[in-house]
Copies of this chain bind each other. A is one copy, B any other.
């Protein structure tokens, strides 16, 4: 019976994403999930372990979501369009499985953890690699330069949308890549 474990991860993830990892205490997660502290510490040896589990969950959800959005593209330009249209939907809260847009959890979490060699920072880095590989798999023989451009613009779109509240950033990225 690992349903408690899953409830803990789901609750933690939604709170972490909404308010930031360091701003959410264990007790809040317990209160919201209605699970006892002892149970949490049977499943996770520390808060960091729970954070890591939540990041992994988010990574799975996100990769799956992105996969679905890219898979039906027939040309490279369609992949790009699908990718950035998907971002637009995410930013405007049309993708329920991703939750209310609050930037990228992995960027946000990296920002909170100053040690780049910590397990958590490394996992954030890993997530970005995963996304990059997924995009690469959906392109036909992409050059490194093209892939780099897509990925940098993707990060730029996420950051711009979140910090400056400009939801049109992904559409601008499509135009930029048209000329590439």
Residue ranges of A at the interface with B (Cβ–Cβ < 8 Å)? 18-20, 22-23, 102-103, 106-114, 116, 124-125, 128-129, 145, 148-149, 151-160, 162-165, 169, 172-173, 175-176, 179-180
Contacts and interface: CB of A to CB of B under 8 A. Distances in A.
Given A114-B20, A116-B165, A176-B180, A155 B160 contact: yes
Contacts of A125: 163-165
Given A148-B172, A159-B156, A128 B180 contact: no
A84 to B, nearest CB: 11
Nearest to A148: B172
Contacts of A128: 160, 163-164
Nearest to A103: B111
B22 A145 contact: no
Given A153-B152, A159-B155, A180-B179, A111 B114 contact: no
9 contacts: A111-B111, A125-B164, A128-B163, A145-B175, A152-B160, A152-B169, A155-B156, A156-B156, A159-B159
